């Protein structure tokens, strides 16, 4: 990764309205020097996959606190794969219980950041894992 | 610490004092005296129950009637929720506070593609009047008042509640109850908006106008500083922004030709409680005084009750932690104490497991018992405003009131609350504060027990019990919805929806048409759809969030 800033698409899929964390992460990533696009609330998996492609994002981050992370992440994964975006870094944050974290990693979300994660952890994870 | 002129220098062997500044930006002194009270504006001589109600809205407060205990409850479907309601009532709960799932909150039916994965997850699923009939079956709506935590789809669910009560033979002229129905705060935090800002405010005015005439004891709006504070605001801003919102609804209702005294007494508030105990208590006292001045002096209301800042308090999600969740029991106890010292009419106390799951029955019971033991064992219901007259509290009350006024001025300077929300200015300000708060947590400048101090090692992490989500429940809900659709008269529904669309188009109050549609068993999604046809859907302003390279 050289010559270009890392670009992150941060999205809120589904109906969940908890956006405090997502907006905090947006600001932390901006401060870390990343190029950040935040979708706002209520995005469909289709819209997120389309935005990821249109923005040529290096990182696709999802924030879900309603508990619907498994069905939503499965759907977004399918659509990202359809668009050939499997080489991008997928991460997810939110109210994610212990037993679901491995499932999400197996789905291809390499970074899983449950509520209470530090923003600097997210920043360094992205720096270390964007190809 | 910089020494203030006039303060005596630290004596020998004395540790230099650390500087303490409250979240609202007030410098906290180690000792307060009568001079501080006088210098900050004096303490008002009003008694409890006398305007401007600093000490409480009723003369005898809890001695006359303890606060209502109204735990936030709702999950899966109407039948399961009905069972939990009855469990809580059997345990001494005195009000109900209904949680709806996100599909319902956002105006989608359980079988809509948008609802996948969300049906019955964070609250009870509601599609038609049938669900309300089941949810409140066997519950005496005169003995127990019901609060609906609904916003984007509030007009629809209020109509549903009134229709259900009417069907069961209750007289709407005497029916009590509350709906949250504060859409402006949804745009700032919480996010269950449906329509654009202007028609959303119009719908709130419709509910106020309709209830003022048809159900005058019903409280159609509970203005929430709560979620704004969660999203990133100081205690003073929380209250200032809530008042700005309440004024916007008041103005919209006045524009309908209502008299201020016809509806102001039915407006209520929902405030957050986490943070410094004394600042919270002072916030409630200051807020009561300020709101009374706004309604009685600015708006010129004649009835003193119009100036009552009635409130629900006891929740404080941001204060709770996933780490060492048992500590949340202690936090909850202090929250209840603050709410009681602050003169809340109703408490919905957050549960110790709420930071990571829908509360278990046990957690709900612990919250209920916390409130009960304050009344039964600790004497919190015996004397009104027990902190009144304290030099510290009286000074802070005066200082907080000034800060609240300051926050309201900021809103005015940004074109008023409706403009600030439409343009995303207030959302950006609030989010910036949330980011500062997060940085302070990460750096340790903001202390949080179990999070950045007194943390436990990995092995000591407790096992937590999670509320199970039943995927099959969604299918059952959808099956129930299909049954209702096939049993009802679809012609009657089509006619009602056409009338609803026509009324919305003509700018008329849509509540009568909604009552008609609800009674015909139209679905939440159908009624929302008819209104979306006219009003459109809100598009969130996120441009402030786009990093410009």
pLDDT digits (tens, 9 = 90+) for A30-47: 999 999 999 999 999 999
B484 CB near a chain A CB, below 8 Å? no
pLDDT at B10: 58
What is d(CA B465, CA B462) in angstroms, rounded to the nearest whole number?
Answer: 10
Residue B130 near residue B477, CB atoms below 8 Å: no
Residue B266 near residue B218, CB atoms below 8 Å: yes
- Domain annotation covers residue B284: yes
Q: Residue B543 half-sphere exposure, CB side, CA atoms within 13 Å?
A: 6
Task: Name the residue in chain A with its Cα closest to that of B231.
Answer: A20
Tokens of A87: 């080489």
- Domain annotation covers residue A92: yes
Tell the burial category of B495 from Cβ atoms under 10 Å away from its Cβ (0-12, 13-18, 19+): middle
Alpha-carbon Rg for chain B, nearest whole angstrom, is 24
Nearest to A72 among B117, B438, B547 (CB): B117
- Domain annotation covers residue B394: yes
Domain that holds residue A73: 46-96+109-117
Per-residue pLDDT of chain B (549 residues; tens, 9 = 90+): 344 555 566 566 667 889 999 999 999 999 999 999 999 999 988 999 999 999 999 999 999 999 999 999 999 999 999 999 999 999 999 999 999 999 999 999 999 999 999 999 999 999 999 999 999 999 999 999 999 999 999 999 999 999 999 999 999 999 999 999 999 999 999 999 999 999 999 999 999 999 999 999 999 999 999 999 999 999 999 999 999 999 999 999 999 999 999 999 999 999 999 999 999 999 999 999 999 999 999 999 999 999 999 999 988 889 999 899 999 999 999 999 999 999 999 999 999 998 888 899 999 999 999 999 999 999 999 999 999 999 999 999 999 999 999 999 999 999 999 999 999 999 999 999 999 999 999 999 999 999 999 998 875 666 677 888 888 889 999 999 999 999 999 999 999 999 999 999 999 999 999 999 999 999 999 999 999 999 999 988 775 554 332
Using the beta-carbon criterion (under 8 Å), do B102 and A17 form an inter-chain contact?
Answer: yes
B434 CB near a chain A CB, below 8 Å? yes
- Domain annotation covers residue B33: no
Nearest to B540 among A41, A116, A120 (CB): A41
What is d(CA B306, CA B22) in angstroms, rounded to the nearest whole number?
Answer: 31
Domain that holds residue B276: 61-460
- Domain annotation covers residue B544: no
Three-class SS of B353-400: CCCCCCCCHHHHHHHHHHHHHHHHCCCCCCCCCCCCCCHHHHHHHHHH
What is d(CA B433, CA B232) in angstroms, rounded to the nearest whole number?
Answer: 5
Tell the burial category of B382 from Cβ atoms under 10 Å away from its Cβ (0-12, 13-18, 19+): exposed
Nearest to B442 among A75, A97, A120 (CB): A120
Say what the ipTM of the complex is: 0.94
- Domain annotation covers residue A26: no
B102 CB near a chain A CB, below 8 Å? yes
B97 CB near a chain A CB, below 8 Å? no
Mutate which: B545, B546, B549, vs A, most A CBs within 10 A: B545
Q: What is the CATH number of the domain that holds B220?
A: 3.20.20.240
The shortest C-alpha distance from A6 to chain B (Å) reads 11
Residue A71 has phi, psi (to 5 degrees) of -60, -40
Question: Number of folded domains in chain B?
Answer: 1
Question: Number of folded domains in chain A?
Answer: 1
Using the beta-carbon criterion (under 8 Å), do A15 and B438 form an inter-chain contact?
Answer: no
Mutate which: A10, A15, A35, vs B, most B CBs within 10 A: A15
Using the beta-carbon criterion (under 8 Å), do A14 and B186 form an inter-chain contact?
Answer: no
- Domain annotation covers residue A131: no
- Domain annotation covers residue A54: yes
Tell the burial category of B16 from Cβ atoms under 10 Å away from its Cβ (0-12, 13-18, 19+): exposed
Mutate which: A11, A12, A20, vs B, most B CBs within 10 A: A20
- Domain annotation covers residue B313: yes
The shortest C-alpha distance from A84 to chain B (Å) reads 24
A33 CB near a chain B CB, below 8 Å? no
- Domain annotation covers residue A3: no
- Domain annotation covers residue B29: no
- Domain annotation covers residue B201: yes
Q: Which residue has the tokens 């939990």?
A: B84
Q: Please give the span between the terminal C-alpha atoms of chain A, in angstroms, as a whole number.
A: 6
What is d(CA B461, CA B447) in angstroms, rounded to the nearest whole number?
Answer: 20
Using the beta-carbon criterion (under 8 Å), do B189 and A19 form an inter-chain contact?
Answer: yes
Using the beta-carbon criterion (under 8 Å), do A116 and B542 form an inter-chain contact?
Answer: no
Using the beta-carbon criterion (under 8 Å), do A17 and B191 form an inter-chain contact?
Answer: yes
- Domain annotation covers residue B85: yes
Using the beta-carbon criterion (under 8 Å), do B232 and A15 form an inter-chain contact?
Answer: no
Q: Residue B347 half-sphere exposure, CB side, CA atoms within 13 Å?
A: 32
The shortest C-alpha distance from B228 to chain A (Å) reads 10
Residue A64 has phi, psi (to 5 degrees) of -140, 120
Q: Residue A51 half-sphere exposure, CB side, CA atoms within 13 Å?
A: 23
- Domain annotation covers residue A63: yes
CB pairs under 8 A between A and B: 103
């Amino acid at each position: 990764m050289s010559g270009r800033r890392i670009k992150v698409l941060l999205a809120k899929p589904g109906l969940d309205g908890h956006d405090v964390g997502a907006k905090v992460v947006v600001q932390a990533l901006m401060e870390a020097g990343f190029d950040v696009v935040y979708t706002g609330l209520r995005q469909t998996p289709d819209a997120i996959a389309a935005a990821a492609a249109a923005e040529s994002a290096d990182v696709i981050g999802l924030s879900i606190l309603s508990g619907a992370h498994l069905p939503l992440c499965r759907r977004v994964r399918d659509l990202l794969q359809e668009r050939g975006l499997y080489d991008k870094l997928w991460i997810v944050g939110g109210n994610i219980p212990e037993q679901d974290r491995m499932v999400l990693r197996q789905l291809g979300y390499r970074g899983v950041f449950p509520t209470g994660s530090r923003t600097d952890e997210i920043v360094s994870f992205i720096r270390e894992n964007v190809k | 610490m910089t020494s203030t002129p006039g303060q005596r220098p630290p004596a020998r062997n004395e540790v230099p004092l650390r500087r303490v500044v409250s979240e609202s930006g007030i410098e906290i002194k180690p000792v307060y005296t009568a001079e501080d009270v006088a210098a900050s504006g004096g303490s008002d001589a009003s008694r409890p129950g006398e305007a401007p109600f600093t000490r409480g809205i009723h003369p005898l407060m809890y001695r006359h009637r303890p606060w209502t205990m109204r735990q936030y409850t709702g999950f899966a479907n109407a039948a399961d929720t009905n069972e939990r309601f009855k469990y809580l009532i059997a345990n001494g709960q005195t009000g109900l506070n209904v949680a709806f799932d996100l599909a319902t909150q956002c105006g989608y039916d359980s079988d809509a593609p948008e609802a996948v994965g969300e049906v019955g997850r964070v609250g009870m699923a509601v599609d038609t009047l049938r669900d309300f009939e089941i949810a409140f079956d066997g519950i005496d709506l005169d003995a127990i008042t019901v609060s609906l935590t609904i916003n984007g789809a509030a007009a629809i669910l209020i109509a549903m509640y009134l229709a259900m009560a009417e069907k069961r033979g209750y007289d709407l002229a005497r029916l009590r109850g509350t709906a949250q129905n504060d859409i402006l705060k949804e745009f700032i935090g919480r996010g269950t908006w449906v329509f654009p800002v202007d028609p959303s405010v119009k719908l709130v005015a419709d509910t106020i106008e309709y209830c003022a005439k048809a159900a005058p004891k019903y409280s159609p709006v509970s203005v929430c500083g709560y979620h704004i504070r969660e999203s990133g605001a100081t205690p003073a801003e929380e209250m200032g922004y809530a008042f700005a919102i309440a004024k916007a609804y008041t103005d919209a209702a006045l524009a309908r030709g209502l008299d201020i005294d016809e509806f102001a007494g039915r407006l209520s508030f929902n405030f957050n409680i986490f943070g410094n105990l004394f600042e919270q208590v002072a916030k409630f006292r200051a807020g009561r005084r300020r709101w009374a001045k706004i309604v009685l002096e600015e708006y010129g209301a004649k009835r003193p009750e119009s100036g009552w800042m009635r409130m629900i308090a006891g929740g404080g999600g941001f204060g709770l932690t996933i780490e060492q969740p048992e500590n949340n029991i202690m936090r909850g106890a202090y929250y209840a104490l603050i709410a009681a010292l602050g003169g809340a009419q109703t408490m919905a106390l957050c549960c110790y497991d709420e930071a990571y799951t829908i509360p278990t029955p046990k957690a709900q019971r612990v919250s209920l018992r916390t409130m009960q033991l304050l009344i039964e064992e600790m004497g919190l219901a015996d004397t009104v405003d027990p902190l009144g007259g304290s030099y510290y509290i009286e000074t802070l009350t005066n200082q907080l009131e000034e800060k609240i006024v300051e926050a309201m001025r900021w809103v005015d300077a940004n074109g008023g609350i409706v403009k600030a929300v439409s343009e995303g200015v207030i959302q950006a300000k609030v989010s910036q504060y949330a980011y500062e708060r997060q940085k302070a947590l990460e750096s340790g400048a903001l202390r949080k027990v179990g999070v950045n101090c007194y943390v436990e090692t990995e092995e000591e992490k407790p096992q937590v019990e999670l509320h199970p989500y039943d995927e099959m429940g969604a299918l059952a809900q959808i099956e129930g919805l299909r049954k209702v659709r096939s049993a009802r008269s679809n012609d009657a529904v089509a006619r009602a929806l056409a009338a609803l669309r026509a009324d919305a188009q003509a700018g008329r109050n849509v509540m009568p048409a909604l009552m008609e549609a609800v009674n015909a068993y139209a679905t939440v999604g159908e009624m929302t759809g008819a209104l979306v046809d006219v009003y459109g859907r809100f598009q969130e302003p996120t441009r402030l969030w786009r990093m410009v390279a």
